[in-house]
Structure formats: C-alpha cells, structure tokens
Chains A and B, each alone.
Chain A
Amino acid sequence: MVRLEDITLSYRRGENPALAGLSCTLEAGSFTWLMGASGAGKSSLLKLLQLSVRPSAGKLFVMGAPIHSARRQALPGLRRRIGIVFQDFRLLPHLSVLENVALPLRIAGRREAQLMADAQEMLRWVGLGHRMEARPEALSGGEQQRVALARAVVARPALLLADEPTSHLDEAQARRVVSLLQEMHRMGTTVVVATHSAAMTEEHPAPILRLEHGRLLSHG
C-alpha cells in the first residue's frame, strides 16, 4: 500500500530535515501505530502519506503510484482514495455536520441523492445520526472528532490516516474513536494512526512505527 525508500523531507534548505533516510513498507490492510516524541516527524510522515508534501529525496509509492515523480494533475485522484482525520478536526464551520461528511463524496462527483444517503449512514455509524443538521461549533470535541472520522471514511478510502485523533478527547471518547478506526481496519482499510499514548497502543496491539529526530527507530 505504501512504500518509502530512503525518504528525506526538508521544508527549507539549510535546515535539519524533518525526515531523513526513512525506508519502510506498510502492507495493504494493515493497522500501524505511528509513535515518537513531539518533533520526531510523525506529522511530517502523515503529510507525506496524505500527499500534502512531496519528498525532497528518495522514492515514495502510495497505492502503487510513484509520488516522487508523479505529475501534479495525477495527485487529486489519489488523494480521493486517502481519508484523513486531523488532530484539530478541520471541519468547515459554515457547513452543517451532514454537509461536512458529504464533502468528499461531492468532490468525487457522486450523485446528490446517493451521497446524502451515504453521509447519513456514516453519521449514524459514528453515533451522530441525531446531530446531522448541527453546526460543528455546537458539538463537543469528541463529537467533532467523530464527524471528522465519518468524513474521512465516507468515500471508503483505501488508506486512512489519523493524526493524534484522541489527543483532545476524554478517555471514553478516545476509546470510541479508536474502536471506529479498528472497525475500518477490519473492513479492509489500511490504517495509520499517530499517537503519543503508549496505553492506547498496549490496549490495541498492532505494529508500531517509531520515529526519533526524523529517523526510523523501529518498525514492528
């Protein structure tokens, strides 16, 4: 699903690279925890995987496509097959919860009647069927994160990325979000979750990709 070969990522010339010499493979259908201290490069790696940045050096393959050399026009199609859950939710405040969830389907050009049915189903799946018309600001942090998760998975992505999805949530909400991520994994989606929480990784055992100062410390 994802292959990194000697990847380096620098945001500015002359600065220390955010990622250096990173090589690893994430198999299709796998669940991977991404761990490391702040500044270890977790967010940079997720940005690479969600195709928000391109590697400065090395080769990156996502769903078989060579991202390091792909034409810019080829990327939107790949991005539509990747779901992202941001740490800060990044819901659009001027849209309702339902419209936020329907957004990836609308971008993908789905028919109006079908996309609304899918978005409603997804909101019911995350337990927010009763808040469809609410604006994001009216929801709690946990509810907003579940909306963000519903939006990330509504288009049935092949790869689901989550950046510290539980960092702003209480324990119960965090458990709920993680169990939803695992449910996606059970349905065949490749899932990568960045987290600080060792307790969570112990509670839900899965391969861990550990980063330190932008380098791969261990994977397994």
Chain B
Amino acid sequence: MAKRTPARAKDPLGLRRAVSGWLLPGLVAAMALLAAIALGGAEAAEALARRWEGGAAAAMLVQLPQGSDPAPAAQQLAAIPGVAEATAMDQARLSALLHPWLGDATGLPLPAMVELRLTSTRQAEAVQQAIAEMLPGAAVEAHGVWVARLSALARSLQAMAWLTLALVGGLAAAIIAVATRAGIAARRDTITILHDMGATDGAISRRFAGRVAWLAGCGACCGLAVALPLLFGLGQLASPLLGGGLEMPWPALATLVPGAALIAWVTAQSAVRMWLKRLP
C-alpha cells in the first residue's frame, strides 16, 4: 500500500505557520457577522417598507356628505377601479374611535364614514379623483404622505445595509490582502527557491489562495454561527412592527461562506501573482 503523504509535504511553502490560523479567520468571522447583520437589516427594512406601502398607505377614509347613507355609498365606492374593499363604518365603531376625544357626548352628530382598502398605493390619486366625481362634497383622508416618508426611511435603511455589506466585503478583501502579503514576507526565501526550481506563478499562488480561502471560509462559518441567533432575536423584537416574524434571508446568508472564500481566493491569487511579477 502506498505510504500517505505527510501534510507538511503538501505544504512546501510552510503556509500553515506563515499565514496565521487564528488572526485571519477571527477577522473574517467579525466581517461575516457584520455582513449577516447587514443582510438581516436589509431584509427587515424591505419588509417594513413593504408593510407600510401595502398597509396604511393603501387605506383611505371617506367622510360622506351630511345625510348620506354609508351602505349604498360603500357599494358605489367598491366599484371604483383600484378599490379592493369598501366598508361602511357603523356608528357604534365610530363612537368608540372618537371616545377618547369626545367622551360620552352622545348627542353630537357623527359623520357617515366609509373605509376603503386599495389594491395598491399607486392607485390612490385616481381613486381620490373618482370619489370626488362620484360623491361631490365627500372628504377623503389619505395616509399616503407620512407613509411615503416612512417608506423612504425604510428604503434608505435598506440602502445603507447594502452599502455596509459592500464596505464589509471591501474591508475583508483588504484584510486578506494584508494577511497574504504578511505570508509572502514570511516565506519570501522559500517562494524564491521554489520559483528557481521551476514552480509556476499559478502553482505558488494556488497554494496561498487555497490556504487563505480555507481560513476565510472557516472564519465566515464561525461568524455566521454567531450571527444566526442574533438575527433570530432581532427578528423576534421586530415582529410586532412587521406583523409577523422576520423572514430570514436564507439564500443571501448561504452565500456568505462561499462568498468569503471566493473573495479570499481572488484577493490572495492577485496579491501573490503581483508579487511574483518581480521575479524574472
């Protein structure tokens, strides 16, 4: 039976010692943790924006002219294109809503109201125009303006999360480049000897890239393992705002480990090849 090759023979550059097995994975783990949180943040901001745009913004309250009957008006309003649902608000519910301001002043006349739910916020303007034509004198209360602001805020948060993700990726590449250069500096003589023996740039850079990608992948695994419970916790905290639990961005999270390894591989390859260009 063939004798097994010792592990160190497969590592002629001695990279197990030259490229630290703790520092690089530790830093990449921190980067992966930040990236996972940024991904979770982006997902939460997206869900909030979706909910606000499709929830409050899609609701409309119509105050009918004095003396109007809300039930037939609701039927009329339901026929307007873009209206998903029209509900006549009964007097008891209206009284209950106004109770904090009016107290038990039951003698006051209350307006007839109809609640509308739109199919999309984009229909709001057309629906408002149709109501004005159909029921002259009706007043419409739309929540579009403040919801649009909240939605813009959520979209900005989402953009910031993506920006953070890009920065984390860039920072990870910079850290890996520095670690690779440190490894090259530590093994300069060995690299030169292998080069003089006829090792190709590709063969030398592959060894560096393989080692660094492995360490970065391990680091990203650890970072992700720490991030997942945090994300679940944050999702629980955000669930009242989202109207349910935060949906985990599984596909994006699943790309973190191979992504970190790929960034490490490409960065190490280019750093080593650039250095090797100095040799004839």
Contact = CB atoms under 8 A, between A and B. Distances in A.
B200 A76 contact: yes
Contact of A113 (B2, B200, B203): B2
B233 interface: no
Q: Is the interface of B mostly helix, strand, loop or mixed?
A: loop
Given A90-B189, A107-B203, A116-B3, A80 B198 contact: yes
A28 interface: no
A51 B280 CA distance: 8
Interface stretch (A34-42, A94-102, A170-178, A185-193): A94-102
Contacts of A95: 8-9, 12, 14
B181 to A, nearest CB: 20
Nearest to A107: B199
A75 interface: yes
Given A92-B190, A95-B8, A99-B9, A52 B196 contact: yes
Contact of B196 (A77, A79, A113): A79
B255 interface: no
Contacts of B199: 76, 107
A106 B12 contact: yes
A146 interface: no
A48 B12 CA distance: 25
A26 interface: no
Contacts of A108: 198
B190 A104 contact: no
A99 B194 CA distance: 13
Contact of B280 (A75, A92, A113): A75
B280 A53 contact: yes
A102 B190 contact: no
Contact of B17 (A54, A78, A84, A94): A94
Interface in B215-250: none
A116 B9 CA distance: 11
Contacts of A113: 2
B278 to A, nearest CB: 11
A103 interface: yes
Contacts of B3: 116
Contacts of B5: 112, 116
A113 B4 CA distance: 9
Contacts of A80: 197-198
Contact of A76 (B9, B17, B198): B198
B8 A94 contact: yes
B4 to A, nearest CB: 9
A72 interface: yes
A50 interface: yes
B193 interface: yes
Contacts of B197: 79-80, 84, 103-104, 107
A77 B203 CA distance: 13
B166 to A, nearest CB: 35
A107 B196 contact: no
Interface in B1-27: 2-3, 5-6, 8-9, 12, 14, 17
B3 to A, nearest CB: 7
A175 to B, nearest CB: 27
Q: Which of A84, A96, A99, A104 counts the most chain B CB atoms within 10 A?
A: A99
Contacts of A52: 196, 279-280
Nearest to A84: B196
A198 to B, nearest CB: 29
B29 to A, nearest CB: 27
Contacts of B280: 51-54, 72, 75
Given A52-B280, A92-B14, A107 B198 contact: yes
Contacts of B195: 79
B8 A99 contact: yes
Contact of A103 (B12, B14, B17, B200): B12
A78 B189 CA distance: 21
A136 to B, nearest CB: 12
Contacts of B12: 92, 95, 99, 103, 106
A46 B279 CA distance: 16
Nearest to A151: B197
5 contacts: A72-B280, A90-B193, A99-B8, A104-B197, A113-B2
3 closest Cβ pairs, A-B complex: A80-B198, A79-B198, A94-B14
Given A77-B198, A99-B9, A107-B197, 17 more contacts: A51-B196, A52-B196, A75-B280, A76-B199, A76-B200, A79-B195, A79-B196, A79-B197, A90-B189, A94-B8, A94-B17, A95-B9, A96-B6, A96-B9, A102-B9, A106-B9, A108-B198
